[in-house]
Amino acid sequence: MVRYKIFDNGLKLIVKKIDGLLSVTTGIMVGAGSVDENDENNGISHFIEHMTFKGTKTRTSFEISDSIDRVGAQINAFTTKELTCYYTKSTAEHFEKSVDILSDLFFNSIYLKEEMVREKGVILEEISMSNDTPDDLCMDYLAEAYFGNDGLGRTILGSSKNVRSFTKKDVLKYMNENYYPENVVISVAGNVDFETAEKFVEKYFSNNFVVKNVNKIEKMTDNIYTNHLFKKKNIEQLHIGLAFPSIKNDDPMTNALAISNIVLGGGMSSRLFQKIREELGLAYTVFSYLSAYKNSGIMTVYAGINPKNKQIAVDSIINLISTFKKEKLTQDEFLRGKEQMKSAFIMGQESTSSQMLLYGKYFLISNKIFDFENKIAEIGNVTLEEVNNAIDTNYEIEKMASACVGKNAAKLF
């Protein structure tokens, strides 16, 4: 059962009660990510996520961890292009304690200068680790090739230069612009009823916002740049990424296109896997996936290959997509794709973490309540004709962007 409430100040609460479980995941989702940043502060959303754990008015960094460990719970956070999420997973009996700690982090972090210096070192190492991870690096270059160097094209971690420059003043300014009630969703999934969640959210959150609602200017992120970028790196494999225009979040074509992507590159029976890996032996890892954002979307194909096989691999992938667009799905592929999509949603119902994220993110991005039963019915009602129509209007090779990382990397096109 799913229930929600919008408090008078605009704060949103959504609760998915899951009977039969003994745990609960609680997340605070803020509509602030790298898409909201500029050249000077790119990386600050992620920096704030880190700094929030480094001490509050009532707890040191160790005491935050100790408070969570004492009740056998877990606490973490992550930043994406469009949101930042702080969350805990605990037994249902320690739900209030988890909400209390999340509230303390959210409202009372003090951003001590010495802690900021230390955490900058941690993040600089994270940036170095990402730069040493060629598939991550390839995807960063691909986002820039497709979206440009603004909005969704920005990296989540930001540059080392930016991270070194951040001050407490920068942090508070950004939070004042983004951490306001209407831009926050508290999502709860697990064995907690709505009345209990509402009581504790009202106690620890709804009345504690100092920042009032602001007129946030929404950045449009639908520009497309068909660039082709590369990065030379002394590694054995060549990592390649191809990006194609796709649909935004909650588009009417979502289910049909998702089914088509499953068939194209979503699993071991997909055309990409079977052709590029199994038949041609050109890659160990090859797949495709869809990324739907608030105002835009992208379909990505990734493969890690031997540099000697670059041309045949790229040509094979492009030919496969051309054939896919021309011939569409068979009835058997269509039915298999539908079942894979349905099972993914059904299995996700068994995880409080995935449910917290699903319902919270959907509420935050679309301002709508995700309806699981309706979603399963919609997937079941998708027709082969609808999927083939979705393929017709997507996978536009002439609008493709690309990126590659490797020893002999060069423009793919």
In this structure, which long-range contacts are made by residues 265-271, counting pairs with CB atoms below 8 Å and at least 24 apart in sequence?
265/289, 265/301, 266/337, 266/340, 267/340, 269/336, 271/320, 271/324
Residues β-bridged to residue 242: 301, 402
Which one is catalytic: 49, 144, 198, 333? 49
What does the alpha-carbon distance between residue 44 and residue 52 come to, in Å, rounded to a whole number?
Answer: 12
Nearest to 203 by CA among 186, 191, 189, 190: 186
Residues β-bridged to residue 232: 406
Assess whether 49 carries a catalytic annotation.
Answer: yes
Helix (H, G, I), strand (E, B) or coil at 404: strand
Q: Are 321 and 395 in contact (CB under 8 A)?
A: yes
Q: Are 274 and 282 in contact (CB under 8 A)?
A: no
Q: Are 11 and 368 in contact (CB under 8 A)?
A: no
Side chain identity at residue 275, one-letter code: K
**Residues taking part in catalysis:** 49
